[in-house]
Amino acid sequence: MDVLDDPIAAARTGAALLEVEDLRVGFAAGGRDVRAVNGVSFRVSPGRTLAIIGESGSGKTVSCRAVMGLLPAGTVVTGSARLRGAELIGLSDSQLRKHRGADMAMVFQDPARSLNPTMRVGAQVAEAVRAHRAVSRSQAREEAVELLRLVRIPLPDRRYHEYPHQLSGGMRQRVMIAMALACRPRLLIADEATTALDVTTQAQIMELLLDLQAELNMALIMISHDLGLAASYADDVVVMYAGKIVEQAPARRLFGTRGAVRMRYTRALLDAIPRLDRPAHTILPVVGGRPPDPAALPPGCPFAPRCPVTADDCLTTEPELAEHVEGHRWACWHPCQNGDTP
Amino acid sequence: MTEREISPQPLLSVREVVQEFVVRERGGARGGVVQAVSGVSFDILAGETLGIVGETGSGKSTLARAILQAPRPKSGRVVFRGTDLARLRGRRLLEARRNLQFVFQDPFGSLDPKWRVRSIIAEPLVAQHAGDRAARARRVSELLDLVGLDPARYARRYPRELSGGQAQRVAIARAVALNPSLLICDEAVSSLDVLIQAQVLNLLERLRGELGLSYLFIAHDLALVKQVSDRVAVMYLGRMCEIGPGESVYRQPLHPYTRALLDSVPSTEPGAARSAATIKGEPPSPISPPSGCRFRTRCPRARDRCAEQQPPPVEHAPGHVVACHFPLISDEERPVAGPQAGRADVD
């Protein structure tokens, strides 16, 4: 039996489905060299959920698009991304297309804009099935209904014939997930897939994704700006800032009453999340400023200009991401202790 | 207990406000009536923040616009500082609205891209003939300082030269230019990154103290609303389910919908959300909302009575009002009587 099909064996041997190493993405914009991703490494195993967290422009989406081969021409991608041992970086578009859909698929934030408004949703799912496999029209149709059922859309036979505008945001996102699952990918990347949805719908879609992940033994990468979502649903967490990973640990280690966040940026993100247990009119601990310009990164720690405890070394020398405690990496000269606030 | 004095005379009193829209089918035929807001009542006291939480289609934004009389509600009263806004026309409505300002979700959508920041902020001053040119320029600088933007750097910029957080600060500066007593914030921080969101929330909190503002704070995020509000109201499909002091609504939600919303908030406790029971299904159409209680089609506690009668608002604790036939009363207060009772306590 393939070790990747058995999550317990995979966990035992530490076999990763996707291994990303020293990934770098750069492109030229307005005559300037923009370094969007600067040496990112992570791995994700079947049956596990990895959350990649960061603000707009932190490089979280660009990293995943680089893995998927979905970046525009002219983008320079270096480093390595191996899916089941096969290198993805440097593949041609047609080679990558074989992996996309079959091995890996992506769900995006805005289902309204990703779906074709003039085409029945069932036909769009059937089209996704036929895009990757040589099946007859009637077979594709049957599979599409099955996929709609898989993503828990009620009355899939009837919904098959509806147009996107007839569905709610949550239902449209289910259709997008059905399309992504058309070829039973081993890796599903959800890019802010629940951000545009209401809280109760968001909870439903996250539950669905986790159920499907268990059913299909997929690896799931969720890209989000919401650390709360990561705490609730992810096994492992990567926090990105200015194109780099600044903290990386299992969710259980980072969050909760005995959480052990070390990097000050993660701490700031965590403290900024609205919380039910705060009394009204609480003044929040905030960090000022904005992330650095990716075309002019500062010499030291990229977070230093905004950090509450910046020292001289922070401004001159960049801290490496290192494993200080087993399974827990952070990049900070002066990490916070439990209970610290910035 | 609040540290600030709250006068008993309401600043804003909303009574039985109804707002409906006719949906046209192809060719203009009448397709149905969207019952966007159906008989909503509440008060806001001076110095108080009332939060309204609800999902897409709950009518919370329609309600905000009905309060502003843009468009006017179909029926009901909106009494602001002792005057029924529905009776005012033209210049008198404009004058009343001086004290009633608003900040919307998309800062770029609400700032004219062809105007410089200083003109955008000065616009309400010009419209209300407040001061001469020099006085207005001084006021614009003051306002930019107030919202934490350096006038020397930002006054001459265009909206496209601002970040989302900066643009929202400009929208706030414009909103407070005429010293309003009530600021309506409709998803005002929802589109901002979490660190910027915290900065803007702190700004709103500071302005509350410095300018003695009251807020009607509308958002879909219950934790966010709870964090800024003295009192919290929950809307579902055009009706108010529950209203009460924030702590009370959060510690003991009485409406099953409020409970479901609370359970849906992602927790920073690992794995917490996975065990939470969230509601199933989708909200029904506001064109033909369910009879009786509008939440009954998704409610785990619904019984026959919920379809037959609209639940009236009942005050269960001081200021804590719920519209539900079978509210979630804790076990100490009402012994477990049926199979449905105590469900709320099941994790």
Q: What is the pLDDT of residues A63-110, one digit of tens each?
A: 999 999 989 888 999 999 999 999 999 998 888 888 887 889 999 887
Per-residue exposure over B231-262, b if at least 16 CB sit within 10 Å of its own CB, e if not:
bbbbbbbbbbbbbbbbbbbbebbbbbbbbbbb
Helix ranges, A110-236 (H): 111-114, 121-132, 137-150, 156-159, 169-180, 199-216, 227-233
Query: In which residue are the tokens 């510690």 written?
Result: B251
Helix (H) or strand (E) holding A26: strand A18-29
**What confidence category does residue B341 fall into, taking pLDDT thresholds of 50, 70 and 90?**
very low
A73 vs B12, more confident: B12
Strand, coil or helix: what is B23? strand
Interface test with A, best of B147, B168, B187, B193 (most A CBs within 10 A): B193
> ∠B164-B167-B169 over CA atoms, to 5°?
110
Cα distance from B226 to chain A (closest Cα, Å)?
6
Smallest CA–CA distance, residue A166 to chain B, in Å, is 11
Indicate the DSSP class of residue A100: B
pTM of the model: 0.84
- Please give the interface size between A and B, counted as residue pairs whose CB atoms are below 8 Å apart: 143
The whole-angstrom separation of Cα A254 and Cα A264 is 12
Cα Rg, chain B, nearest whole Å: 22
Residues of chain A with Cβ-Cβ distance to B220 below 8 Å are 198-199
Query: Do the Cβ atoms of B260 and B278 come closer than 8 Å?
Result: yes
- Residue B59 CA neighbour count, 13 Å, CB half: 31
Q: How confident is the model at residue B278 (pLDDT cuts 50, 70, 90)?
A: low
Mean pLDDT of B326-333: 70
Contact of B271 with chain A, judged by CB distance below 8 Å, is answered with: yes
A230 has pLDDT over 50: yes
Contact B195 A233 (CB under 8 A): no
pLDDT tens by residue, B71-112? 999 999 999 999 999 888 888 888 888 899 999 888 888 899
Q: Is A130 exposed, middle or buried (0-12, 13-18, 19+ CB in 10 A)?
A: middle
Give me the residues of A, 255-314, that contact B with CB < 8 A: 255-257, 259, 268-276, 278-288, 290
A3-103+185-330: what CATH class?
Answer: alpha beta
Residue B100's CB: how many other CB atoms inside 10 A? 24
Mutate to test the interface with A, among B168, B185, B227 (most CBs of A within 10 A): B227
Q: What is the pLDDT of residues A233-275, one digit of tens each?
A: 999 999 999 999 999 999 999 987 778 899 999 999 998 888 8
Q: A135-144, B246-255, B273-282: which range is least confident on average? A: B273-282
The residue assigned the tokens 């994704």 is: A209
B-chain CB neighbours of A256 within 8 Å are 268-270
For chain A, the domains span: 3-103+185-330, 112-184
A339: CB partners within 8 A, 6+ apart: none
> For A179-201, what is the mean pLDDT?
88
Which of A97-111, B181-195, B238-252, B331-345 reaches the highest mean pLDDT? B238-252
Residue A1: per-residue pLDDT: 45
Q: Do B280 and A276 touch (CB under 8 A)?
A: no
Contact of B51 with B60, CB cutoff 8 Å: no
- Per the DSSP assignment, residues forming a β-bridge with A80 are A21
Average per-residue pLDDT in chain B? Answer: 86
For residue A221, the model assigns a pLDDT of 97
- Phi and psi dihedrals of A107, rounded to 5? -120, 135
**Measuring CA to CA, which residue among B305, B116, B105, B103 is closest to residue B184?**
B103
CA A282 centroid distance within chain: 31
Q: Which of residues 223 through 242 in chain A touch B, CB cutoff 8 A?
A: 225-229, 231-233
3-state DSSP call for residue A329? strand
Q: By mean pLDDT, which of A183-187, A247-251, B25-29 is the weakest?
A: B25-29
The amino acid at B136: R
- Are B227 and A278 a contacting pair at CB < 8 A? yes
CB distance B210 to B181 below 8 Å = no
Compute the distance between CA of residue A239 and CA of residue A263 in angstroms, rounded to an integer: 9
Q: For the purposes of burial, counting CB atoms within 10 Å of the CB of B77, is it exposed (0-12), middle (13-18) or buried (19 or more)?
A: middle
**B234 beta partners:** B53, B242
A207 touching B (Cβ < 8 Å): yes
Percent share of chain B, pLDDT over 90: 59
Helix (H, G, I), strand (E, B) or coil at B90: helix
Q: How far apart are CA A71 and CA B121, in angstroms?
A: 40
Q: How confident is the model at residue B338 (pLDDT cuts 50, 70, 90)?
A: very low
